[in-house]
Amino acid sequence: MAEHDKGSGFSRRRFLQALGGLAASAGMLGFPAIARGALPFTLPRLPYPENALEPVISARTLGFHYGKHHQGYVNNLNKLVQGTALADAPLEAVIRETAGKPEQSAIFNNAAQVWNHTFYWHSMRPKGGGRPNGRLGELLAASFGSYEQFRKAFANAAVGQFGSGWAWLVQDGGQLKVVKTPNAETPLTGGMKPLLTLDVWEHAYYLDYQNRRPEYVEAVIDRLLNWEFAARNLA
């Protein structure tokens, strides 16, 4: 591989030296780093069987969402980075390096969607939901006034996201916030630390809920949110 990739505008060596430390960031966020195999990126395993989130999310929905959509983003990303310095970079570095660059929007969109979906799977667990305890519960109360106020803000962000996108619980300094992002956008590029996310692209819920996005959002919040994962992500 050439030392300098003309299309990217940065040296491979300098890029990897500057951003190589990001390889462990996925592990720091509570889920395994995106695996490397014969190709640069490999679809991570689900943290539970495909039927584990029923009846809130059916095995049919999870099979299509994970096996088709998530896998498709991985496949596209591998094709797009082949032969470039980005092929050797950690996924989080690819996202940060390509964010806000129109000429690299295809790479960013697929890389961010690989990361966002992996984070989404870990943001849920069977028999989840409820009210978090400990430091996370205290921070929610301090940041939003109460768990109920957080729940309202998170649900409103998810339901109110126009078109495709994501709702996030993030840590921004010493405060927790709810933010929403369109399409493949992610709080990773805004200096915020994601704690949980909820996918509101139609393919996440349409087989089970059709156009009833609010019903899907309420069910995930109350019955699937993985507060243990969120607590591990706190700085």
Q: What is the CATH number of the domain that holds 190?
A: 3.55.40.20
pLDDT tens-digit map of 64-102: 999 999 999 999 999 999 999 899 899 999 999 999 999
Inside any domain, residue 160: yes
pLDDT tens-digit map of 9-45: 333 343 333 333 333 344 445 565 554 444 689 999 9
Inside any domain, residue 83: no
Task: Specify the pairing of strand 4-5 against strand 175-182.
Answer: unpaired
pLDDT beyond 60 at 4: no
pLDDT tens-digit map of 168-205: 999 998 899 999 999 999 999 999 999 999 999 999 99
CA count, 13 A, side-chain hemisphere, 160: 10
Q: Confirm if 67 and 19 have CB atoms less than 8 A apart.
A: no
Residue 50, pLDDT score: 97
**Which residue segment(s) compose the domain that 168 sits in?**
134-233
What's the total number of domains in the chain? 1
pTM for the predicted model, two decimal places: 0.86
Per the prediction, the chain carries an average pLDDT of 87
Residue 40, pLDDT score: 81
Kind and range of the H or E element at 182? strand 175-182
More confident residue, 217 or 7: 217
